[in-house]
Amino acid sequence: MFYCARYVSLIVLFSTLFACSNVCTTQLPRKGELTSNALVGTWKNNTVESYYVVDEDGSANLYVCDPSGSFRKKSSFRGVIVNDQLIHQYEGHCPKTASLTLNNGQLDLAYENYHVSVSRLNSIPAACDETALAIRSVTPGELIAGRSQSVIIYYAVNVVNEKEPLYLMAGYTSGTDGSYVLDNKKISLANGRHDGELRLQLTPKKYSNVPFEIYLRLIAGGDDVNKNLILLSRKVVNVK
């Protein structure tokens, strides 16, 4: 009798989980259905299927499939958007670093345990405050095929109400003495969108075969800037 009840319970449990997955999957909203220009995606964590919705202001909501077969809102969180994909960020947790490296001519973005390969970095991902994006390479010549003299970083900034000038800064270190060259560039932004690029010029004779790192500090905008868009600021660290 005990074993019979046990098997019946297991059957009911698996049936509930299966039904939940099917019902919840059919209820997934499409992009733009819940909010204008919302970014919608799904993933499975263990046996729990969930989806997220990211609004234009950068706010995100996480929903999970409950035993009744419908999605329920679990929490709100902030995430990282890369090439129109949101890399999930755990509740109350801000990522420390995301690394960008060259792999067989492809730029590989590694965000904690998630990896996204991109042939061209269209924009720096939105992130929590003070999240560092590190671009690593053994030698300058290994950075970008055909562009061994430069490091190209594309960025996009959208300003809602500009009250103060915004600045884009970057720097890199080379060698063990912690020396670096800082390239500052002031950006004058009117209301709307501004696309551009930042080039860090390397000196081949001085830096050839010398390990170096480039660190960019990501700062989520203040009250006058959309939360899902960022301002870049310099953060230089010594090569270990």
CA distance 132 to 99: 8
When the pLDDT of each residue in the chain is averaged and rounded to a whole number, the result is: 39
The tens digit of pLDDT for each residue in 55-79 reads: 444 445 556 666 666 666 655 544 4
User: Which of the listed ranges 20-24, 175-179, 204-208 does the model predict with the highest average pLDDT?
Assistant: 20-24
Contact between 66 and 87 (Cβ < 8 Å): no
121: how many CB neighbours lie within 10 A of its CB? 18
Give pLDDT, residue 41: 45
Give pLDDT, residue 142: 31
The tens digit of pLDDT for each residue in 143-198 reads: 322 222 233 332 322 223 333 333 333 333 333 333 333 333 333 323 233 333 33
Query: Helix or strand or coil: residue 174?
Result: strand
8: confidence class by pLDDT, cuts 50, 70, 90: very low
Answer with the residue of higher pLDDT: 152 or 111.
111
Ordered strands of the 71-77 beta sheet: 39-45, 48-54, 60-65, 71-77
**173 — phi, psi (to 5°)?**
-110, 155
Model pTM score: 0.23
Q: Whole-angstrom distance between the N-terminal and C-terminal Cα of the chain?
A: 65
Maximum Cα interatomic distance, the chain, rounded to a whole number of Å: 82
